[in-house]
Structure 1
Amino acid sequence: MSHFLVITDSADLSQSVAYAAGVQIGAIPATPMPARPEELPGYDAERPVVVLDAGPDADAALRLTAGCTAVGMVVVLASEEPERIGFAALKAGAADVMSVYASIPELRASLARADRLATERAYATAGQQGATTEPPRPQGRVVTVASPKGGVGKTMVATNLAVGLARRYPQSTVLVDLDVQFGDVATALGLSPRYSLVDATHGQTPSDPLALKSLLTQHSTGLYVIPGSESPGASEAVGAREIGLLLHTLAGAFRYVIVDTAPGLNEQTLQALDQSSDLVLVTSLDVPGVRGLRKEIDTLRQVGLMLSSHHLVLNFVDPHRGITVKDVEANVGETIDVTLPLAKEVPLSVNQGVPLLQGNGRDQATKQLTHLVELVSADRSAVGRTSRWKGTRG
């Protein structure tokens, strides 16, 4: 646990931070604003985290933020207008920007993020000084949703899985559209994002949590999204290395990282699988779909990427197709975990940009998708953390 210090003239904010942190909090007045980090009583403490109220003097608060960040302190800025100072705060090095009226759960999530960042910086400093202690590994789970061919409902499954997890665990899930050329995650969620996967994998961004923070789009359910590119030619700008760094960084911030991939097994999909803890394979109830699924399973086993934690989803299930679920299981040598019926509700929800699990329907498709959420969340469910990032732009 870090040493927390609150700089504010507001007794309410100081008490709220103390309650959210669950520890004794040192507080000093924000008027006048300290000019340098050396003037703070917690300056020499190990892993110090400063909650700084920018209300009395925003310019002075930003200068102090930059100074604190330069000496390794972690700063969370509080403001009555967090959106107005957000960009300047991130530029100054603030770990987060929150409202002075934030709820206790919001404060707790922000402080948890700051505490983890302070811990990571302490480990990095120890490493530079020759210490051998390894930093804690990311605890979030990367769940890759893949399919052998297109047109089988993979994106529908990925978006519903992500929305279902986001509703079950608020502020805990991010969905990455890794179908760089023809990704439709944004359309399936009814979003008009400002940034895309290309932005999130540019330069040092995929390994920089603060830079990634400003690129996430937030869905109405609380789900965070990194959509695919609008340009099919952008695939050349998204390399496997950047994908690996991106997923590693996101796994350090979210409980669940859902990855919607392009059909087949391209370079980006293989990289995602290499980073994944869970795999969801989707296919359709027809001969080409079943054959493709069997080939994909065989290939993944050959390259050592058929994860032990995996689930098979069979879409467009209909008793009049001449193939049964048992036929599919016999052919691929695996149990089908989720069967999605050929139902009018599914294309209607896709066309409207409203995933089935965004509502409270009782149709069979919704029930089966809910079952998939339960299967994924049940595996190694000891992982428990809400997102470190809040209030991103969409």
Structure 2
Amino acid sequence: MQSFIVGEGGGPLHHALAAVVKELRLSLCYAKGLAQLRLDRAFAEAERPLVLVPDAQALPATVTEVVDFAREFNGQAFVVYVADTIAPADYKRLVRTDSADWITLRDCRDELPELVARLAVADTSGRAAKIVSFVPSKGGVGNTTLVVETAVLMAARRKRGGLRIAILDLNLQGGTVADALDLEPRFDLSEIVDRPERLDEQLIDIFTSRYSKNLDVFASSKSRLGLDGVKSELLFTFIDSIAGRYDAILFDLPVHWSSWTDTLLKGSDAVVISGTESVPGLRRLTTALDHIDRLALPGSKLAVVVNAVETDLLGRASRRMLIERALAKRQSFLVRHDGKSASRALDIGKPLSELAPQSRMVKDVKCLAVWIEKATGQSQESRVKTPLLREALA
């Protein structure tokens, strides 16, 4: 957790507060005043930081200023007013913001650790990840690439801490998510198949491969344990256990459908079906869509991605009429072919969105990422324009 101490950093009060913060192993920055903190870039990018406002003679902040600041950043920061005394009316105003509290300096060493622990629990328990399932209509359609690129873009899109994203690679015997991001796969369900009670926060940390501040990956090394050997109760228990940590979890599903796949899709906040533009590819895509239609998923939560689309000299989809006939009534996205760049990114172990952010493939996937944010209610944009199929084909 990031922390900020407001006021001049040289006084004994600030030194005492800093000592407590360092004991808690929190990152610490100083701000001259609340007005300066509002403009501080580190504060703007921190995820619900702790703001300590001591009642110091140098640049003092009034309780009213602290209350106003807490209201302004309600849910985005937590403010602690450190003073020997406080008027009862002021204390009520402070705690009614739901983003502030009062602690005396002499009690800081005891009460601040408890407060930080409560905030950590609140940050996870109050958050339920949106579930986004990526389903390949057949093998080799680039489903994993779509998952990786979408996750990286979503994790990087927002300010103030960003969206916390996780990828769960359910290709337990041959997943390539970890390879695409040059990570060590650490997710091993066999550890808890016979002893599900072992699943706790510490084990989840062991299972986690961290790519960046906002993106974690749960991917398995090649294992004898396939999805058919995993009970649905165990898988869904694991999903529930990590849901509080993230804003969204993106699932890379295998081609083979398990007995619980339909249940997972019905419980998803958004479903993305991927395929290719060839005649057999579109046929497999429509077959998969027919099955998903029988699950009665809301149309607003379902999108189709035609991957590796070839274009003509004008940049238009070469098989646009064929694609339009097959998918005219669907929310569809076309991702243009960029095989050379995609292969280079895979060889290096970096996402294409970081290696070549202006590539046409990345621009197309970005449209998908925006749609997912809108479909799951996480978009910052009041009006998100997603292209109709006819517009995308033009």
- Structure 2: runs of 5+ lacking an equivalent: 1-14, 22-27, 29-49, 53-76, 80-99, 381-394
Distance 2:299 2:230 in 1: 24
Provide the rounded CA distance (Å) in 2 between the counterparts of 1:342 and 1:267. 35
| SS of structure 2 residue aligned to 1:308 | helix
CA contact (8 A) 2:136 2:143 kept: yes
Which whole-Å CA distance do the structure 2 matches of 1:204 and 1:327 have between them? 49
Which residue of the other structure, out of 140, 143, 166, is the alignment partner of 1:151?
Answer: 140
Query: What letter is aligned with 1:289?
Result: G
Consecutive unaligned residues in structure 1, runs of 5 or more? 1-8, 34-39, 41-49, 53-73, 77-94, 96-110, 121-135, 385-394
Distance in 1 of aligned mates of 2:298 and 2:138 = 17
Aligned partners of 1:197 and 1:227 also within 8 Å: no
Instruction: Select the residue among 232, 248, 251 that pairs with 1:240.
Output: 232
1:113 aligns with 2:170: no
In 2, Cα distance between equivalents of 1:243 and 1:75: 33
Deviation at 1:273, TM superposition (A): 1.3
Query: Secondary structure of the equivalent of 2:300?
Result: coil
Alignment of 1:379-390 (within 5 A): 379-382=375-378
Which deviates more from structure 2 when the two are superposed, residues 207-216 or residues 353-362? 207-216
Q: Which has the higher contact order (CA 8 A, sep 6+)?
A: 1
Distance, in Å, in 1 between the alignment partners of 2:194 and 2:164 is 24
1:328 Cα shift?
2.0
127, 149, 166: which is aligned to 1:160? 149
What SS class does the counterpart of residue 101 from structure 2 fall into?
Answer: coil
Are residues 341 and 206 of structure 1, via their aligned partners in 2, closer, same or farther at CA, if it must alter by over 3 Å? farther
Which of 201, 205, 218 lines up with 2:210 in the alignment? 218
Q: How many residues align?
A: 288
> Percent sequence identity over matched residues?
20
Matches within 5 A, 1:253-268: 253-268=245-260
Aligned to 1:102: none
| RMSD of aligned residue pairs (Cα, Å) | 3.4
Q: CA deviation at 1:368?
A: 0.8
| CA distance 1:212–1:30, change in 2 (3 Å) | farther
1:349, distance to aligned residue in structure 2 (A):
1.2
Output the CA distance in 2 between the equivalents of 1:12 and 1:171. Answer: 29
1:357 aligns with 2:353: yes
Alignment of 1:44-63 (within 5 A): 51-52=112-113
Instruction: Call closer, same or farther: CA 1:288–1:342 in 2, change over 3 Å.
Output: farther
Deviation at 1:365, TM superposition (A): 0.8
State the SS of the aligned residue for 1:230.
coil
Contact preservation (8 Å) 2:168, 2:250? yes
Cα distance change of structure 1 residues 288 and 221 upon mapping to structure 2, 3 Å threshold: farther
Q: Which amino acid aligns with 2:208?
A: L
SS of the equivalent of 2:138 reads: coil
Answer yes or no: is the 8 Å Cα contact 1:14–1:27 preserved in 2.
no
CA distance in 2: counterparts of 1:264 and 1:237, whole angstroms: 13
Per-residue displacement from partner, 1:242-293 (whole Å, max 9, x unpaired)?
2222223333321111111101432353343133100111101112211111
Counterpart residue type for residue 122 of structure 2: D
Q: Which amino acid aligns with 1:353?
A: G
Which of these residues, 332, 338, 342, is aligned with residue 336 of structure 1?
332
Alignment of 1:1-394 (within 5 A): 10-12=16-18, 17-19=50-52, 20-22=77-79, 23-26=100-103, 51-52=112-113, 76=116, 112-116=119-123, 139-169=128-158, 170=162, 172-199=164-191, 203-204=195-196, 208-209=200-201, 211-220=203-212, 222-305=214-297, 308-319=300-311, 324-332=319-327, 333-382=329-378
What is the alpha-carbon distance in structure 1 between the residues aligned to residue 193 and residue 101 of structure 2? Answer: 40
Give me the whole-angstrom Cα distance separating, in 2, the residues matched to 1:328 and 1:191. 36
* Cα deviation, residue 342, structure 1: 4.4
TM-score w.r.t. length of structure 2? 0.63
Work out the CA distance in 2 between the residues paired with 1:181 and 1:383.
34
Q: CA shift at 1:155, angstroms?
A: 0.2
